[in-house]
Amino acid sequence: MSNGERIPLSATSKPKPARRSGMVLVLTGNTAPPAGYVAIRHAEAAAVAQQGGCACCRVPSDLVTLLRQLFLERVRGEMVFDEVVIEGSRKSIEAAMDDPLVAARYTIQTTARIS
C-alpha cells in the first residue's frame, strides 16, 4: 500500500458536524457525537506501552484495535469511508502510528478536512 493509498487520520479537540461524506469519527471521551459522519466509534486513546517490548509485541490500545478493525471493515466492503477523525490530541494519533499495522494503512493529516 503506497502512501497515497493510506487513509488520512486527523485529530480534533472538539468534533464538529461533518460537512462532507466519507468520514468516520472516533470519540475518546464522553463527548456528544455530532451529526454527518459515516460512523461514530468509541475508543480509549491511551496507548499501552510495555517496557522493552517491540512495537509488534505491545498490547494494542483501544484506539489501535479500533483503527485495525475499521480498516478491515473497509476492505471487506462493510463500510465506505475515506478519512478518520479522532477526538483527542495529535499525540494520541502519533502513539497509534507506532503500531506497524496502523502505520501501514493510515497517514497523519495536519488538519481535519471537515468542510
- pLDDT tens digits in sequence order for the chain, 115 residues long: 444 589 999 999 888 998 788 999 999 888 888 999 999 999 876 555 545 556 556 666 889 999 999 999 999 999 999 999 999 888 888 888 989 999 999 999 865 454 4
Domain that holds residue 53: 3-108
pLDDT of residue 101: 92
In a domain, 113, yes or no: no
In a domain, 114, yes or no: no
pLDDT of residue 53: 58
Give the Cα separation of 3 and 16 in Å (integer). Answer: 27
In a domain, 67, yes or no: yes
Whether this prediction's pTM lies above 0.85 is answered by no
Give the Cα separation of 106 and 115 in Å (integer). Answer: 20
Domain count across the chain: 1
